A and B are shown apart, each in its own frame.
Chain A
Amino acid sequence: MADIEVIDAEKRFGTNHVIRKLNLRIKDGEFVVLLGPSGCGKTTTLRALAGLESIDSGEIRIKGRRVDHLPPQQRDTAFVFQLYSLYPHLTAYDNIAFPLRASGKPEAEVKKQVTQVARVLRIEHLLDKRPSALAGGDMQRVTIGRALVRRPEAMLMDEPIGALDAKLREEMRAELRRLHVENGSTTVYVTHDQVEAMSMGDKIGIMNDGVLQQYDSPVTVYNTPSNLFVAQFVGSPIMNVVDCQCQAGAGGIEVRLAGMVDPLVLSAAATAPLAQHAGDALALGIRPEAIHLALNAAPEHVQAKVHLIEPLGPYDIVDLAVGNATLRARTPSRFVRSQGDTVWIKLDDARTHFFDKRSGLRLQAGS
């Protein structure tokens, strides 16, 4: 078991600044997901933890011990790549047993550990098969089994299920998470898929352009994103972000979207973050499920027109014209009947966010 600490880490490839002043504390036994678009520095960070990449400055500590100058094999971490890096001439059993035999474990002990790992991964029935006889998902489970059997201090995984089809990914997500719960090793997991991050991580570190944008629990990241990038990278359907104007009115701060005559009805608590920001370029952010939609006029609701209905099965996403802005709301399946309909909407006060468009930061009351 191990805690991992990254302190002021920097990394450049030539003129390309891939990791900028990265600070990360991963507690013993935690499952941390590094999430971001391609080129954001997440894989480089993972490789630096593994020792496959050096850092230019800063420190990496595992279990309090400084390791950034140590070769990979002295860091006691196991690395799982997306690629199925199995020995083709060995059976699944022998592939998983390989690291144990290499470290000279007696055969009885090898058998015990391989069997145990196989049981957790549900690949017991595949143990005598060679990689070529295995389906993609099974192969990846064997790969994970081989990493796991070493009982490493830390598991480092780079998009381990990215190449699998959607259904298998769904299953593997649950299995990997479950495995972590049973196994308890500190895990750092890299992905560009926000669903994986949200559903598997104890914490998510969202990166962009080499900079850690936010490092928090999935619930916090989803409900209170620190900036526009995080707000729109996490969550599907994505959070609505639309320009808004704010001015002092009779009943407090009035917020209008482009082209709106009457302001939105928002509570004083919801508009409190706007107090010091009159005249700034601002954006309103709200998740599709935080827009209440009514088919008839209702108090505190504003009128909207239905542009498009996107059915997803369990629910619909409805594109609404509000003033000149477009907002997308999540509704029960077939709640809104047809395009062109007029509906009434109300934004959930507690889930309405405001962002400074220049800095991208989410405004908080008193800031």
Chain B
Amino acid sequence: MAQVSLKQVSKRFGAVSAISDLSLDIRDREFFVLLGPTGAGKSTTLRCIAGLEQPEAGDVCIAEQRVNEWSAAQRDVALVFQQYSLYPNYTVRENLAFPLRSKLRKLTQQQIDERVAKAANTVRIAHLLERRTDRLSGGEMQRVSIGRAIVREPRVFLMDEPLSNLDAKLRELLRAELKGLQQRLGTTLVFVTHDQVEAMTMGDRVGLMNKGKLIQVGAPHEIYNRPKNSFVASFVGTPAINLFDARLDLAAGRASDGALSFDLDEATRHTLSSVALPADGKVRIGVRPEHVRLVGAGGIAGSLYGAENHGAEIVAILQSGDHMLRATIAADARVTLNQPLQFAFAQDKLHFFDPVTGDSLLH
């Protein structure tokens, strides 16, 4: 059993607050992703769990034990970094065996051999065991790094952007591999990334951080479909969510900002009537590109500013007055640049945010 919890943890570097008052419960056997932009504090959080940084305040607990005073080795966690940090002059086998040779472990050579063989099979590097690590490709090196973490059979895996140095194709393959691996091993894994695709596809739950604070924790579909604020909404999803300011007139049942103006349907009006809207009716509306569709008539008037072929679909860029909105349309749709068109929103998928605080008015 290895839950990881942080209770009101704060960490400063000089005058800079890296994380402030952060509380987080990571469940046993969970694949937990810390997601956020550069400087969000996610790596610092990971390093506090690892014991590589000491928080000024708060508790770090592993398996319900406070470990603040424990050394990194005592915590029995295994780290994998973006840089491979392997011993270049040694073979893969020696690299894997190294963490097991510690006198503290008291393992026999046979036990070490068995564990190395098992880990090598798990990450599919058994055929590379006798090769020197400086002769490996990037993907192979990262597999060895992960293998070296596995061989220790730690309570928790901590990974900091382990896939970021790899090319797109390899990243995609390793993503699925790593997720499958974690499920087979059943070991708690905390994974740091700035890549929302990695977070969405791998995490059982995702914690989105910004400026040292945890903004939202939830399953990927919750984060995607029920973002707590406009930061979360725009950080997750590609192409990015469309955001625009508008004034709501519930009595008239209309949302408008200049040329971009549309009638709110019955259900949306009903939903909005029960939330506390800003007094002036000003809101920020969010709508994902897959929830904007082209319609024959009766929609919002605009024109086609651009069309991006994404292979499986086309991302149409619609101009309406000063607004630019993206819509995902079928790959075989025929559209011409500058053509006038009309579009509408799937209104049950609209998000409404406070334009000042960015907080969701619905969730």
Contacts and interface: CB of A to CB of B under 8 A. Distances in A.
Interface residues of B, number: 39
A313 B237 contact: yes
A364 B220 CA distance: 41
A330 interface: yes
B320 to A, nearest CB: 15
Contacts of B328: 314
A288 B175 CA distance: 16
B305 A174 contact: yes
Nearest to B308: A199
Contact of B311 (A181, A222, A308): A222
A199 B309 CA distance: 5
Interface string A226-237: 000000111111
Interface in A141-173: 165-167, 170, 173
A105 B308 CA distance: 37
Interface stretch (B3-11, B78-86, B143-151, B165-173): B165-173
A313 B200 contact: yes
A307 B169 contact: no
A34 interface: no
Interface string A330-366: 1001100001000000000000000000000000000
A167 B234 contact: yes
A37 interface: yes
Interface string B174-208: 01100110010000000000001100111000000
B306 A310 contact: no
B357 interface: no
Contacts of A167: 234, 240
Contacts of A198: 308-311
A237 B312 CA distance: 9
Contacts of B224: 311, 313
Interface in B295-323: 305-306, 308-312, 315, 317
Contacts of B37: 165
Contacts of A311: 200-201, 220-221, 224
A261 interface: no
Given A174-B305, A236-B172, A313 B236 contact: yes
B169 A232 contact: yes
Contacts of A192: 167
B290 interface: yes
A317 interface: yes
Contact of A222 (B168, B309, B317): B309
Interface in A266-313: 287-289, 307-308, 310-313
B236 A173 contact: no
Contacts of A219: 309
A235 to B, nearest CB: 5
Given A166-B240, A236-B311, 10 more contacts: A193-B168, A194-B168, A198-B309, A200-B308, A236-B172, A310-B202, A311-B201, A313-B236, A314-B328, A339-B183
Interface of A: 37, 165-167, 170, 173-174, 177-178, 181, 192-195, 198-200, 218-219, 222, 232-238, 287-289, 307-308, 310-314, 317, 319, 328, 330, 333-334, 339
